[in-house]
Amino acid sequence: MGKDTKNDKSNEQVLDPEEQKRAEAMAEEEVGKKVDEESSADESAGVSQEKYDELNEKYMRLVAEFENYKKRTVRERVELIQTAARDTIADLLPILDDFDRAKKLADDESSDESFSEGVELVYQKLHSTLKKRGLHAMESDGEPFDAEYHEALTEMPAPSEEMKGKVVDTIEKGYFLKEKIIRHAKVVVGK
C-alpha cells in the first residue's frame, strides 16, 4: 500500500505557479459557463413559469366571466318567464278596476244596482286567476306616502294630525306582479 501512494505522488505533475493560475482560471471559466447555462436554464424556466402563470390567470378570468355569463342568462331567463304575461296583465288592470267599481256600487246598500250571481262568479274567477299568476294589489290607504309605490294626484287637508303625510284616499289601486311594481297607486295625500 505504501508503495502505491509513492507512485501516485510521483505521477502527479507539479505545475509552476503561472500554469496553476491558468488552470484555476480555466476551471473558474468552466464553472462560470456551467453557472451561466444553469441560470439561463433557470431564466428560461422562469420565463416559462411566468408565461404559464399569465396564461393560467387569463384562463381563470375567462372561466369566471363565463360562469357569471351563465348565471346572468339563467337569472334573466327566469325573470322573463316570470313576467312574460306582464303586458297582458297590465292591459287587464282597467277591466279589473271597472269590476271593482261595479262590485263596490252593488255592495252599497243605498244603490239600486245589483251584482248578479254569474257576474260575481266571473269576478271571483278573474281575481283568482290573476292571483295565481302573481298579481296582488298594493295596500295604500292609511300608509305613509312613498314615491316608489304611490303617485300623488293631489293633496288635501288631513282629517287628523296622524294622517299628515299619509295616503288619505286611493283613486286607482297599485299592483305588484311577483314583487315587481306593475302599476303605481294613484292616491290623495293628507297635508
| pLDDT on residue 44 | 62
DSSP structural state of residue 144 = B
Residue 92, H or E segment: helix 86-107
What number of residues does the chain have? 191
Mean pLDDT by 10 residues, the chain (191 residues): 48 61 72 61 69 93 95 91 81 90 83 80 90 90 90 89 88 90 92 86
| pLDDT on residue 108 | 80
Q: Does the 86-190 domain belong in CATH 1.10.3720.10?
A: no
Task: Give CA–CA dist 91/171, Å, rounded.
Answer: 18
Q: Left if phi > 0, otherwise alpha if psi is -120 to 50, otherwise beta: which for 178?
A: left
| pLDDT on residue 41 | 56
| For the chain, domain boundaries | 18-82, 86-190
| pLDDT on residue 82 | 73
Q: With contact defined as beta carbons under 8 Å apart, do 105 and 119 qualify?
A: no
Residue in the structure block whose three cell numbers are 251584482: 115
Task: Give CA–CA dist 116/106, Å, rounded.
Answer: 9
Question: Crossing angle of helices 86-107/117-132, nearest 10°?
Answer: 140
Task: Give CA–CA dist 175/156, Å, rounded.
Answer: 24
Cα atoms in the Cβ-side hemisphere of radius 13 Å centred on 113? 11
How much is the pTM? 0.57
Distances in whole angstroms, Cα of residue 79 to Cα of each of 96, 120, 136: 25, 33, 18
| pLDDT on residue 6 | 47
